[in-house]
Structure 1
Amino acid sequence: MPVPVTVRELTPDELTDAWQLGRLAFGSDPQPAPHATAPVPGLTRYGAFDSAGRLVGKAVDLHHEQWWDGCRVSAADVGGVAVAPEARGRGVARALLGGLLRGAHERGAAVSALFPTVTAPYRACGWDVAGVLRTVTLPTAALPRHQPAPHLTMRAGEPADLPAVTALYERVARHRRGLLTRVGELFTRPADRLPCDGLTLVEHDGNLIGYAGWNRGRGYGPDAALTVEDIVAGTADAARALIGSLASWHSVTPTLRICPLPGDAVSAHLPLEAAREHERDLWMHRPVDVARAVADRGWATHLRGSVEFSLDDDLAEWNAGTWRLEVADGDARLTRVPTDADLRLTVRGFALLYCGATDAPAAAEAGLLHLPAGADPRPLNLLAAGGAAHLHDYF
């Protein structure tokens, strides 16, 4: 039987109870980090309270932005969802996520992503699996031992270099889909120290064109590993130089851990045939506001077309109804249509198409798109145009 709950933002004096609920759910350290029990700019913490006023669930709306083909799209990315053991399976998570979506809609968010520990509750609320963040291991000795091209300079990075690092990340990430912008209050870092053990920079004529941030780990025996926390290259030469630098660790760290970004300059020069999966984290996506999600992102300038579809969204009723999608000249709009359409899309189907994780015929085969016998689902491939999305920052 569902538990009647009230969902609202947590007050500062309720944060310790929320942390304790999360500690029990996720097996965290017995002492909270300072930020866990204090207000933090750039996020909204929600709690679900039963009829006696007890906290039985909590979730966090992270005020991120995602890059979508050159445009910043406001996101309500979700983290820290936890429900008290005695209240699980009774609708608390659904109520929490519904409250979070309403608050995110009111503050202007367009889309939402999350990393689930289990997918079923989130699928029931409209999110669906749109991709995988993979961490792989590579034998360091298998990396090509490239020397930097003569026109390049390599050096150790310092805290003063971090603005240039952020600018290069933006230049490489902005034309993709789904990557976080890494700006805003949640990405503020101390200005006097690096976020990792080391930062290797590649420059051309004094301009940064590649970097790798890494953590050394412990020891130098057969189990030692070098973990690349972040690596970006703006040119093939920069990628080769960075990989050559990582290869130089082969005598003391036999293993390299890295999250390859499909299709980027670094992945193009890694010996991925030697990679073995170390970790894999599914990520899920859903629209907060379908009209904003379509209007705020970028679209290919050559793309042109229109399609009408009806959308089902039980948790975000402002998304439900019939829409006409029109795309032209790098712009797109959803407008309301008063009558039902032959193509009836679930919100999960919308999420997968929007992220380029499926096409319309496959969505129909999965039961995420419903249509009359003989109708053609392919016009809805317009929503999927642009290619696959990627999420490269775990939260």
Structure 2
Amino acid sequence: MPVRDLTAEDFVSYRTLASGAFGGGVDPASPTAPRDFSAGQIPLGIDASALPGGPRGVIAAGARIRRDQVALGGGVARCGGIAGLAVHPAYRGEGLFGTLLAAVIARCHAEGMELSMLYPSNPSIYRRYGYQVVARGRSLLVPLVDLQRIPAVPGRRLVPVTAESMPRLRRLYHQLTSGDNLMLRREPPLFPVAVPAHPWSALLLEDDAGTAQGYVSWTRRTDAADGPGLEVHELLGRTRADRQALLRSLGSWSTVTERVRIRLRTEDPVLDVLPGGGARPDPSPEPLVMMRVIDTAATLRARRAPAALDGTFELVVQDATVPAGTCRAAGTFLVSVQHGTITVTETDEQAGAAAPVLGTCRLDIHSASLLLVGGRTLADARRLGLRADADPAAESFLDALLAGPRPSVLDAF
């Protein structure tokens, strides 16, 4: 079952497959529908004609790899975002899913991507191929009456976000998320430089000198019924006071709606400034985020190490979920950290690393995918039943190296 790159000639067939699998969207045959894949994506597929009795012009299985970038430990990593992976109903249960996903992983490796990410509806089928749940989307329902009690913050003003000020918002977003783990960089061509389409709206928070200190973005819902009438996509501020000022601005919506749904990052600092006790978790299903390490050495090199951390240890990663050579997650690595820089050398496990100073850490692919994206410890991995064995000194060192906020992934402004 050969996997090949899809072209514009395959677009309608692929979109027919994807809309049949996931529902919704524009009729692929409509004259107003797109006729080619979006820039910044790598479409792959398997022709039905390559299968016994399969017709021509039908895509039996297909997927798209997004050329994303994510914040990682103070650095930036390339990430293959997997989207629209579908198998035609006629060919399900015949191994096409595994063949295609293995080819996707191999292509991510060939493209120099350190990581791969996806949003699964069924995580178990992806876990077989080394993906691990690392984050969950979270939203909070907040009564607007609570936000009205927040006092005004001196030295701050709100201004509408326009096409002219959108580049300022984007720069501010990069600054405020650079220390996070896995927040998308949202770079073109996957993310347009223009203001997102109506009904998206946003406000910048400025100080008296006109310097941007935070922003809040939202969509007003007119079909909310008993649900929240305002969907807040992001609320980011440099300081606690900035976040208070932005929350206070949301209270002004109380004349037209009663509640707001606020989308949160993992361990979001907004939680620390919410007043009152009326907020409650959104009962809707939480979207999952799964990650897979594609290249262990490159993932570590993409990070920045704490400035005071110096040492060397051996890291062994085992991966039996894909054929050898599919990617470079598995191996034995000598990891050295000095003056904030991480140096990684692949070694021969049989010979052993040259004098690992602190000892050895042994991870399976799932614990590697959980840990190397930051914010978790080897003890966390063991509590999940993943393999994460280490000499005590090496474990403490790796935990310190990968410390930071737990991963968060928000897909758009």
Distance change in 2, residues 1:91/1:370 (3 Å): farther
Query: Is contact 2:294–2:327 with CA below 8 Å preserved after alignment?
Result: no
1:22 positional shift:
0.8
Tell me, in whole angstroms, the C-alpha distance in 1 between the residues paired with 2:313 and 2:93.
38
Which residue number corresponds to residue 387 of structure 2?
A: 369
What is the one-letter code of the residue matched to 1:9?
D
Tell me, in whole angstroms, the C-alpha distance in 2 between the residues paired with 1:25 and 1:221.
29
Range 333-342 or range 199-208, more displaced = 333-342
Distance change in 2, residues 1:261/1:92 (3 Å): same
Query: Is contact 2:315–2:334 with CA below 8 Å preserved after alignment?
Result: yes
2:212 pairs with 1:203: no
Tell me, in whole angstroms, the C-alpha distance in 1 between the residues paired with 2:224 and 2:132.
41
Query: Is contact 1:354–1:383 with CA below 8 Å preserved after alignment?
Result: no
Which residue number corresponds to residue 386 of structure 1?
A: 403
Cα deviation digits, residues 143-163 of structure 1 (max 9, x gap): 253343231122322221101
Query: Is contact 1:299–1:331 with CA below 8 Å preserved after alignment?
Result: yes
Tell me, in whole angstroms, the C-alpha distance in 1 between the residues paired with 2:380 and 2:267.
24
1:198 positional shift:
2.5
Range 176-185 or range 197-206, more displaced = 197-206
1:66 positional shift:
0.5
Structure 2 unaligned regions, length at least 5: 353-359
Range 250-259 or range 312-321, more displaced = 312-321
Q: 1:10 aligns with which of 1, 6, 14?
A: 6
Query: Is contact 2:294–2:328 with CA below 8 Å preserved after alignment?
Result: no
Tell me, in whole angstroms, the C-alpha distance in 2 between the residues paired with 1:348 and 1:296.
19
Distance change in 2, residues 1:356/1:370 (3 Å): closer
Distance change in 2, residues 1:48/1:199 (3 Å): same
Tell me, in whole angstroms, the C-alpha distance in 1 between the residues paired with 2:252 and 2:79.
39
Tell me, in whole angstroms, the C-alpha distance in 1 between the residues paired with 2:271 and 2:99.
41
2:115 pairs with 1:100: no
2:237 pairs with 1:233: yes
Tell me, in whole angstroms, the C-alpha distance in 2 between the residues paired with 1:31 and 1:294.
43
Cα deviation digits, residues 127-168 of structure 1 (max 9, x gap): 100011112212222225334323112232222110110011
Tell me, in whole angstroms, the C-alpha distance in 2 between the residues paired with 1:178 and 1:201.
24
Distance change in 2, residues 1:233/1:379 (3 Å): same
What secondary structure, in the 3-state scheme, does the structure 2 residue paired with 1:310 have? strand
Cα deviation digits, residues 199-235 of structure 1 (max 9, x gap): 2221111111121111111169754511112222122
Identity rate, percent: 26
Tell me, in whole angstroms, the C-alpha distance in 1 between the residues paired with 2:140 and 2:40.
31
Number of residue pairs matched? 387
RMSD: 2.6
Query: Is contact 2:64–2:85 with CA below 8 Å preserved after alignment?
Result: yes
1:361 positional shift:
3.8
Query: Is contact 1:58–1:82 with CA below 8 Å preserved after alignment?
Result: yes
Which residue number corresponds to residue 139 of structure 1?
A: 143
Query: Is contact 2:202–2:215 with CA below 8 Å preserved after alignment?
Result: yes
Cα deviation digits, residues 299-340 of structure 1 (max 9, x gap): 221223333233222423533222222223212132222124
2:333 pairs with 1:329: no
Tell me, in whole angstroms, the C-alpha distance in 2 between the residues paired with 1:366 and 1:49.
39
Which residue number corresponds to residue 282 of structure 1?
A: 288
Query: Is contact 1:220–1:253 with CA below 8 Å preserved after alignment?
Result: no
Q: 1:83 aligns with which of 82, 87, 90?
A: 87
Which residue number corresponds to residue 27 of structure 1?
A: 23
